[in-house]
Amino acid sequence: RLKPFNRLQVILQHLKMSKHTDSTAEVFLEKRGGAGVITLNRPKALNALNLSMIRQIYPQIKTWEKDPETFLIIIKGTGGKAFCAGGDIRAITDAGKIGDRLAQDFFREEYILNNAIGTCKKPYVALIDGITMGGGVGLSVHGHFRVATEKTLFAMPETAIGLFPDVGGGYFLPRLSGKIGYYLALTGFRLKGRDVLKAGIATHFVESEKLPALEKDLIALKSPSTENIADLLDSYHAKAKIDQEKEFVLDEHMEKINSLFSANSMEEIVKKLKQDGSPFAIKQLETINKMSPTSLKMTLRQLREGASMSLQDVLTMEYRLSQACMRGHDFYEGVRAVLIDKDQSPRWKPAALEEVSDELVNDCFKPLGNNDLKL
């Protein structure tokens, strides 16, 4: 028999090993109290979402939705820097180049997950502490509650890489007040902290250091209703003092945003910005000039159409657009310029808005027959 000390060593060794194998999991799914807790665990990759994570999260949400002992779902990220900085673009790029199925499967399964969050019957609480962009927005924005902190950094930067603000961007962006959503989608403008709440993307604002306590309190709720959860979030929100007095970063520009970004075409938006000539308008022109012209036209139409569509119809439309991007040129060129070579000088084809024909844009929106997304 092992001496007590040796036995302890063996137990510690075993714990260390099991902890070690466990901590390499890309996502933790655990039942704690009345809550199902999803923890994104790729801190080095800023918790970027990949296909294997999607394939673990989706069935778990569906299981918890049916479980009478699960009253809410909480999603968060590890590492302190990001909730989720986006989808695993690198993997998609490599797959798309060689026509690998991943380029279809990733978007298809990601959008099915976005829809599961948007239709979830259990209250869904996303703790969007840190960077929340692209795919990370898709994991949070369609849920009942989105809790921002002073560390939240929100953006939909897709037009800069030859993509479009997907994951249901065509649904939530045009529904933000005025033309904020169009502005965020076309320019990739970043919102920080309380501004994420003021823009209508988050539902609550809580100090980052209070999140562990909030999570503990959420888990401890006994058979809570949506109202009970809202009350608890409200009470934390009411106590958050950081930046309480600061006005919304876009406040002074809202009038311009609403008029300039209400045009029916990209060319018209550019024309209006040039005519306006204010420092704000000039800055927007500079930003828009860096973006993929094809992405800009695709995005404007996506938002204009999405404004009156259901989330399901938007995701079906966006799946068509995603596959058009996989077939095209700009996505690979954008990823090269921004993420791989980092020279920040993509060579878009077509290179100017005027060269992106209606026919080219219409093509991106065409149904895919049997390959269409089915929700």
Catalytic residue among 36, 130, 135, 328: 135
**Residue 215: active-site member:** no
Catalytic residue among 88, 129, 166, 215: 166
Write the single-letter amino acid at 212: P
Catalytic residue among 86, 87, 134, 170: 87
**Residue 88: active-site member:** no
Helix H or strand E segment including 9: helix 4-23
Is residue 38 a contact partner of residue 125, using CB atoms and an 8 Å limit?
no
Neighbouring C-beta atoms of residue 141, cutoff 10 Å? 26
Distance CA 339, CA 331 (A): 11
Q: Give every strand in the sheet of 191-192, ordered side by side.
A: 82-84, 131-133, 153-155, 191-192
Helices 293-306 and 180-187, axial angle in degrees (round to 10): 160
Catalytic residue among 110, 129, 158, 215: 158
Place of tokens 């009411």: 238
Between the alpha carbon of residue 279 and those of residues 163, 252, 274, the distances in Å are 27, 13, 11
Give the residue among 206, 86, 210, 222 at the shortest CA–CA distance from 150: 206
**Residue 169: active-site member:** no
- Report strand pairing: 72-77 vs 124-128: parallel
Distance CA 373, CA 151 (A): 35
Is residue 153 a contact partner of residue 131, using CB atoms and an 8 Å limit?
yes
Between the alpha carbon of residue 286 and those of residues 99, 182, 283, 364, the distances in Å are 34, 16, 5, 26
**Residue 87: active-site member:** yes
Q: Please state the three-class secondary structure of 172-190 as a single string.
A: HHHHCCCCHHHHHHHHCCC
Give the residue among 49, 42, 54, 41 at the shortest CA–CA distance from 87: 49
Query: Which residues belong to the active site?
Result: 87, 135, 158, 166
